[in-house]
């Protein structure tokens, strides 16, 4: 889709397919705190290009654990969590899948319908048996989800989006998470949290990690794949962290060895640049404050654009309710459009979104809102 957008020469073209944050002028940006740290790094003469250990930068992993689980987390303080640096969030999910393939007695994973397209490819590559659970049908389908979980196989795994579900932008409420975890505990099903949008969804890392923290505080073993692509804007630096919450310190040590045995023949060790930037920020309360304020700014701009899109579609009395635009959270909104509308928007109006109707709200700005709304309105009226 990105290539189609770039090749398009229409001056009104709008890219709502992107998974990268764009600023109010539709441009990619580097966070100020990242620029600042990169400048400091470039002036340091103690840094080398030596290899990182197989499991990556230990300090970075330690801070990443503290961020997601909180420094008071019992499992963390009992050394029951092991973590490795991963190649972005994708790499973390892949390592989780490889670990299941290598070590789990039951190689079955439940994934939401719909989900991020890469999940199926990753789990297929690792020869896991994929089963789907109901998630979204004209809105969050909690009853379907619960029904499917109750029928799920004991001792299996389940992929959960920690927050800002991609592509639907729809998450369970806190009480619904509790009901989900009740069933997982009952059936000994292990969650794999894909956490690509922590901090980016509400602007608050702790709040976005609510589901993960609830599971861990209940003593549920789980796997957590964090990505720092979106929330730090480090897309091309490929930095993430996979943590495995175990029942004992001994088990965490064993899992850590297994992960290193998986990584070594795959890519030997991860790259340094992204983890050095992220680790430097996480180690310094002043830089963390700066980062959090910028993260909040990105999250707020997306929320503002949701309100604007909703208001303008209503002002034009465009068919359908559009409530989902302001109800959904995170980067994406699942627009209530049919295939023919999505194709017309792309082919005739040069508005690009994924074929499922997933629109990246970060691609909306004051410069293109009128054109986007006018185009959607016209396509739905015809």
Which residues here bind ligand PMP, judged by CB under 6 A? Answer: 19, 88-90, 116, 161, 166, 194, 196, 227, 229, 240
Considering 15, 194, 208, 237, which one is annotated as catalytic?
Answer: 194
Complex with ligand PMP: residue 196 or 305, whichever CB lies closer = 196
**Residue whose CB is less far from ligand PMP, 21 or 310:** 21
Q: Which is nearer to ligand PMP, 240 or 308 (CB)?
A: 240
- Catalytic residue status for 230: yes
Beta pairing class for 157-161 and 190-195: parallel
Q: Which residue of the set 13, 230, 290, 344 is catalytic? A: 230
22 vs 161, which CB is nearer to ligand PMP? 161
C-alpha distances (whole Å) from 146 to each of 105, 108, 134, 265, 347 are 24, 18, 8, 39, 39
Smallest separation (angstroms) from ligand PMP to the CB of 47: 24
Report how far residue 47's alpha carbon sits from residue 41's, in angstroms, rounded to the nearest whole number. Answer: 8
Q: How many C-beta atoms lie closer than 10 Å to residue 62's C-beta?
A: 16
* Residue 72: active-site member: no
Q: What's the rounded Cα separation, in Å, for the pair 34 and 167?
A: 28
> What's 19-53 look like in SS3?
CCCECCCCCECCCHHHHHHHHHHHHCCCCCCCCCC
Does residue 116 carry a catalytic annotation?
yes
Nearer to ligand PMP, 19 or 270 (CB): 19
CA distance 346 to 341: 9
Class of residue 54 by CB neighbours under 10 A (exposed 0-12, middle 13-18, buried 19+): middle
DSSP class of 245: E
CB of 277 to ligand PMP, least distance (A): 14
Which of 116, 141, 290, 322 is an active site residue? 116
Burial of 330 per CB tally in 10 Å (0-12, 13-18, 19+):
buried
- N- to C-terminal Cα separation, the chain: 25
Write down the least CB distance from residue 48 to ligand PMP, Å. 26
Assign 3-class secondary structure to 106-136: CCEEEEEECCCCHHHHHHHHCCCEEEEEECE
Please choose, from the candidates 81, 94, 31, 17, the residue with its C-alpha nearest in 3D space to the C-alpha of residue 277: 31
In whole angstroms, the minimum distance from the beta carbon of 194 to ligand PMP comes to 5
Least CB distance to ligand PMP at residue 75 (A): 23
Which residue, 95 or 376, is less far from ligand PMP as judged by CB?
95
User: Is the Cβ–Cβ distance between 165 and 193 less than 8 Å?
Assistant: no
Which residues are identified as catalytic?
116, 194, 230
């Amino acid at each position: 889709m990105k290539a189609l957008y770039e090749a398009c020469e229409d001056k009104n073209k709008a890219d709502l397919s992107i998974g990268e944050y764009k600023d109010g002028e539709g441009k990619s940006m580097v966070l100020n705190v990242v620029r600042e740290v990169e400048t400091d790094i470039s002036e340091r003469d103690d840094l080398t290009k030596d290899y990182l250990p197989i499991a990556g930068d230990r300090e970075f992993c330690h801070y990443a654990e503290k961020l997601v689980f909180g420094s008071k987390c019992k499992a963390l303080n009992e050394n029951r969590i092991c973590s490795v640096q991963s190649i972005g969030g994708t790499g973390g999910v892949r390592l989780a899948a490889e670990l299941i393939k290598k070590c789990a007695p039951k190689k079955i994973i439940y994934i939401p319908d719909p989900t991020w397209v890469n999940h199926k490819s990753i789990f297929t590559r690792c020869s896991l048996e994929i089963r789907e659970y109901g998630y979204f049908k004209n809105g969050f389908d909690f009853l379907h989800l619960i029904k499917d979980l109750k029928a799920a196989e004991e001792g299996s795994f389940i992929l959960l989006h920690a927050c800002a579900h991609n592509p639907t932008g729809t998450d369970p409420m806190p009480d619904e998470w509790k009901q989900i975890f009740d069933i997982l505990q009952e059936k000994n099903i292990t969650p794999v949290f894909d956490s690509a949008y922590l901090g980016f969804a509400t602007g608050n890392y702790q709040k976005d990690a609510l589901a993960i923290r609830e599971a861990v505080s209940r003593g549920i073993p789980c796997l957590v794949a964090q990505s720092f692509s979106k929330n730090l804007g480090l897309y091309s630096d490929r930095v993430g962290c996979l943590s495995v919450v175990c029942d004992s310190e001994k088990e965490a040590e064993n899992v850590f060895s297994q992960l290193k045995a998986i990584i070594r023949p795959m890519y030997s060790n991860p790259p340094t640049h992204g983890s050095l930037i992220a680790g430097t920020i996480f180690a310094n309360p002043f830089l963390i404050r700066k980062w959090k304020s910028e993260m909040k700014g990105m999250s707020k701009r997306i929320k503002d654009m949701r309100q604007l899109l909703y208001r303008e579609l209503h002002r034009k009395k465009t068919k359908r309710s559009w409530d989902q635009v302001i109800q959904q959270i995170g980067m994406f909104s699942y627009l209530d459009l049919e295939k023919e509308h999505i194709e017309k928007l792309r082919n005739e109006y040069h508005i690009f979104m994924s074929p499922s109707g997933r629109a990246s709200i970060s691609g909306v700005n004051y410069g293109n809102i009128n054109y986007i709304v006018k185009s959607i309105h016209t396509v739905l009226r015809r």
